[in-house]
Structure 1
Amino acid sequence: MSRRKTRPARTARPAAAPAVTAESPCPCGRDAAYGACCGRFHTGPGTAPTAELLMRSRYSAFVVRDEAYLLRTWAPETRPGDVDFDPAMRWTGLEIEETGDGTAFHQHGTVTFRARFTHGGEPGELHERSRFARHEGAWVYVEGDFLD
C-alpha cells in the first residue's frame, strides 16, 4: 500500500485591499486626500464629528478593509464579532442622498446613501438608510434599512 503525500489545505484569504495612500483621493468622494479626510479617523485618536462623516469614513473603511475601525465605530449592541470582507467585492463610489440630524447638537442621526460596487465584475448598488447614535460621546453605526 503506497502513501501519498498531501499538502495542508489552503485557507481562502481575502483579496488584497485596494492600494489607497494618504495622498490618494478619498474613497468617500469628498474633494480631499484620504489622509486628510477619512484616513485621519481610521488612524488617529479623533472621531468623526457628524453622522455623515462617520458614514463616509465607514464606507472608506470597507474600501480599504479596515476591520478594526469598522468594529470600533459599531454600536456595541449590534456589533458583529468580525467583518467578513468578500474578496470578490470592490466598492466603487458613494453618494449621500439625505441626512437627518446627526450633528454636534444631536444624539441620533440618519444617513441615506447609495454605495456602488462590483461583485465578481458585475456592477451593483447598496441603497440604505443607516441609523447612528452617540456612544460614550462618539458617533457609532447602529443599524440600517435596505431601500428599493
Structure 2
Amino acid sequence: MPLPRTPALTADCVVVDQDRGVLMVRRKNPPFKDYLALPGGFVEIGEAVEDAARRELAEETGLDAMNLALVGVYSRPDRDPRGHVCSVAFLTNDARGEARAADDAAAVVWIKDFDGVEIAFDHREIITDALNLIR
C-alpha cells in the first residue's frame, strides 16, 4: 500500500538563556522574510525530529543543543502559508557555542520583551508554551 499524502514535518528549537531571553533568527527568505523566527526547519527523510532540531539550530546559529525537552506539536493547517506543515518544538537551556547567523538566518538576536515584535508563523505561541514549561 502506498503512503498517504500527509503534511510536511518541521522541528523548531526554543533556546533560552539564564535570563530567560529567547534566541531568535531574522529570516532571509520568504515566507516571513525579515521577521524573527525560532531556529528550525524541515525534517529530512531518515532523520529523527530531535536530530533535525539540533541540526537546524547548528546550521542557523552555530549553537549545539545538549538536552532537548519537548514543548509540543503544532499542527494547525494554516500555520504556514506554504501549505500544511506540522512542527515538533523543543526547548533547550544548555546550548553551547557562540550564536552567529548562518545558513538561511540573516541575523541572530536574544529577545526578552516580545511586545511589538513581528514573529513568523505561530512561533509566539511556541515561545509562550516553552516559557510556561520553565516557570
TM-score (norm. length: structure 2): 0.29
TM-score (norm. length: structure 1): 0.27
RCO higher in structure (CA 8 A, sep ≥6): 2
User: Which of the pair has more CA radius of gyration?
Assistant: 1
